[in-house]
Amino acid sequence: MHHSPVARVYLLLFIINLVLAVAALIDCLSAEEDEIRALPRLFWVLIILLFSPIGPIAWFIAGRPQRTAARPGGAWRPGNGFPEATRPRPLAPDDDPAFLANLNQVRKDDEELLRRWEEDLRRREEELRNKDEDDRKS
């Protein structure tokens, strides 16, 4: 099947138009709402979808957020997640004084429980021995 050169040009233009529209749409939908210029996001999406290829080109020229160089200390804006430097970090158990103090108390409680179990076991064994001796005597 042989395609004419005009058909190939139209196919190439269609593919370029499709790629441009998809790239503009993804860029528009992933931009922060307060950084989008000129119009609200919904209008930009409609312009990109309805007025191709002019809509995507207009997005890249007039609507896309301006990219600025990263500020010292990172590119975090207030309210844009948690910067690593100020993120609250949980203490590791061996760095937490309350956890370490609690360990000592838990150990003492476990030792007391073990002592009571051993006493109970000895008492039961003694009761069984006494019962066996009484049964033999009878």
The string of pLDDT tens digits covering residues 102-127 is 888 899 999 999 999 999 999 999 99
- Residue 136 resides in a domain: yes
Asked if residues 44 and 34 have their Cβ atoms less than 8 Å apart, the reply is: no
> What is the rounded distance in angstroms from the CA atom of residue 61 to the CA atom of residue 53?
13
Q: Which of 81-90, 99-108, 127-136 has the lowest mean pLDDT?
A: 81-90
Q: Clarify whether residues 56 and 99 are in a common domain.
A: no
Range of the domain at 127: 91-138
Average pLDDT, the chain: 84
- Residue 58 resides in a domain: yes
Arithmetic mean of pLDDT, 80-99 = 71
Q: Which of 11-15, 19-23, 55-59, 88-92 has the lowest mean pLDDT?
A: 88-92
> What is the rounded distance in angstroms from the CA atom of residue 16 to the CA atom of residue 52?
11
- Residue 77 resides in a domain: no
Question: What is the tally of structural domains in the chain?
Answer: 2
> What is the rounded distance in angstroms from the CA atom of residue 81 to the CA atom of residue 107?
41
- Residue 128 resides in a domain: yes
Q: How many CB atoms lie within 10 A of CB 48?
A: 28
In whole angstroms, how far apart are CA 134 and each of 75, 78, 128, 131? 86, 83, 10, 5
Q: Clarify whether residues 57 and 108 are in a common domain.
A: no
- Residue 86 resides in a domain: no
Q: Clarify whether residues 54 and 101 are in a common domain.
A: no
Share of the chain above pLDDT 90, in %: 49
- pTM, 2 dp: 0.48
